[in-house]
């Protein structure tokens, strides 16, 4: 899909979609529980559909409603016979959460997907499986596993995707005896693991943790434990709210609703980052209202909030001075090389974005309307960040591959329209 954005006067109120991170975790915990769980305020993005389809294969029963889902779990021990490959689409969360869980079936399981999914690192699991004498074979189009994960002591690096840690934590209570998971320093994206532990707690499973002086963290999971059915409402997604927040401080007059002020989401840090940049906002009963602001450069650490990377790179173009974003290397291993993609596309606006392996430097300055169409790089966050850049600058632009937003926020462009964006959609051949 191609979207043409026109110069627009923006303002109004928008509700953020439900947190995709929390929805993945709630769906999996419900699928492992005995009994029926009802999860409300859920959006059926491509990633969430992949996880729902997978838990059906695991043996859970899923009944979908418009914005809710009822899941009758398999109890963690009544797994179905898996007769076809588990399709994860482009969802790294789905794949990495499910590999340990499907190993509990002791069946030969084939995982397939789309896009760059199997170009993304899976070395953590490969080494773990091989140490236990289990089969783990990765090819360009899929991964095959065979053998049941065994309890014990696991040691994982902390500077890899937290999805590996979460996947092990979700499976550990269902093993035959206790396990420990040591995460070495530097421990990045810990807030996402905190979300996993909180979801497990809400479904009746306990995880003990101890932080050490050297920055490492030790998790202890007693086993066997049983997940218990629970009802859960998914709170608003701060990683998606970031696009609205940045647009708000650029264009002004945007109120964002649906956010939990006391959220454990690591991406909540977007509010602190905007404040450091001079972004103006007020928090009230009706939501968070963002006002047009004169912005200044700052230094940003992405270690615990990598999903904010693309929109923060766009934000840097509007800040007076030089914005430095550190610990950004993992952006190169997402649905696209997000650093290279943002460099390439923002250059069409005349922006100055420089990068090395782990750091992005953006020099603020006047932008111009891009003469060539913008490429979404088959990446939902790139598409949304480019739309924010164009609308925030008050410049017309064409974005190709805009359908990538279906991965996490299918209604993104409809929300832009409710805020006053004038746009046209056109299906690409």
Nearest of 288, 262, 203, 249 to residue 30 by alpha carbon = 203
Query: For the purposes of burial, counting CB atoms within 10 Å of the CB of 194, is it exposed (0-12), middle (13-18) or buried (19 or more)?
Result: middle
pTM across the whole model: 0.94
123 vs 156: CA distance, rounded Å: 11
Residue ranges of the binding site for 3-phosphoshikimate: 20-21, 25, 161-163, 189, 307, 334
Across the range 17-30, mean pLDDT stands at 98
- In the prediction, which pLDDT does 190 show? 95
Distance CA 353, CA 351 (A): 6
What's the pLDDT score for residue 429? Answer: 66
Is 307 annotated in the active site? yes
Question: CA-to-CA distance for 336 and 12, rounded, in angstroms?
Answer: 32
Domains parsed from the chain with CATH numbers: 2-17+235-426 (3.65.10.10), 20-226 (3.65.10.10)
Residue 44 has pLDDT above 90, yes or no: yes
Q: Provide the pLDDT for residue 286.
A: 86
Annotated binding site for phosphoenolpyruvate: 20, 92, 120, 163, 338, 381, 407
Tell me what the mean pLDDT of segment 268-279 comes to: 98
Active-site residue identified among 237, 267, 307, 375? 307
pLDDT digits (tens, 9 = 90+) for 136-192: 999 999 999 999 999 999 999 999 999 999 999 999 999 999 999 999 999 999 999
Residue 119: pLDDT band (50, 70, 90) is: very high
pLDDT exceeds cutoff 70 at 212: yes
For residue 383, with 0-12 CB atoms within 10 Å meaning exposed, 13-18 middle and 19 or more buried, which class applies? buried
In tens, the pLDDT along 87-110 reads: 999 999 999 999 999 999 999 999
The pair phi, psi for residue 96, each rounded to 5°, is -75, -30
Known binding residues are 20-21, 25, 92, 120, 161-163, 189, 307, 334, 338, 381, 407
């Amino acid at each position: 899909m191609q979207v043409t954005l026109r110069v627009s006067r923006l303002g109004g109120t928008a509700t953020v979609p439900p947190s995709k991170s929390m929805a993945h975790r709630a769906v999996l915990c419900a699928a492992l529980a005995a009994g029926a769980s009802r999860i409300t305020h859920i959006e059926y993005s491509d990633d969430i559909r992949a996880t729902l389809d997978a838990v059906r294969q695991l043996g859970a029963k899923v009944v979908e409603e418009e914005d809710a889902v009822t899941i009758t779990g398999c109890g963690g021990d009544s797994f179905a016979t898996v007769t076809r490959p588990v399709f994860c689409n482009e969802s790294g969360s789905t794949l990495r959460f499910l590999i340990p869980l499907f190993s509990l079936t002791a069946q030969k399981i084939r995982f397939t997907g789309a896009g760059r999914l199997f170009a993304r690192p899976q070395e953590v699991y490969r080494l773990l499986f091989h140490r236990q004498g289990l089969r783990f074979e990765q090819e360009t189009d899929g991964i095959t596993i065979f053998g049941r994960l065994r309890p014990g002591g696991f040691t994982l690096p902390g500077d890899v995707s937290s999805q590996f840690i979460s996947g092990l934590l979700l499976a550990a209570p269902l093993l035959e005896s206790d396990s420990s998971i040591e995460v070495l320093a530097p421990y990045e994206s810990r807030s996402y693991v905190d979300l996993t532990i909180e979801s497990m707690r809400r479904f009746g499973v306990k995880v003990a943790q101890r932080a050490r002086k050297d920055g490492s963290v030790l998790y202890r999971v007693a086993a066997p434990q049983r997940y218990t059915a629970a009802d859960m409402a998914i709170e608003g997604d701060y990683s998606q709210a970031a696009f609205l927040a940045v647009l708000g401080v650029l264009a002004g007059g945007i109120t964002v609703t649906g956010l939990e002020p006391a959220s454990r989401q690591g991406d909540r840090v977007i509010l602190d980052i905007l404040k450091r940049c001079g972004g103006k906002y007020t928090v009230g009963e009706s939501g968070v209202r963002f006002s047009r602001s004169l912005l200044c450069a700052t230094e940003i650490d992405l270690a615990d909030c990598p999903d904010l990377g693309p929109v923060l790179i766009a934000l840097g173009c509007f800040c007076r001075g030089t914005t430095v974003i550190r610990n950004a290397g993992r952006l190169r291993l997402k649905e696209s090389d997000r650093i290279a993609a943002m460099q390439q596309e923002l250059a069409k606006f005349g922006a100055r974005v420089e990068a090395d392996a782990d750091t992005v430097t953006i020099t603020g300055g006047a932008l111009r309307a891009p003469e060539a169409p913008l490429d979404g790089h088959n990446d939902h966050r790139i598409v949304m960040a480019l739309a924010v850049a164009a609308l925030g600058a008050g410049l017309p632009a064409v974005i190709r591959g805009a359908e990538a937003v279906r991965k996490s926020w299918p209604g993104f462009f409809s929300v832009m329209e409710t805020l006053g964006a004038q746009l046209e959609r056109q299906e690409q051949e």
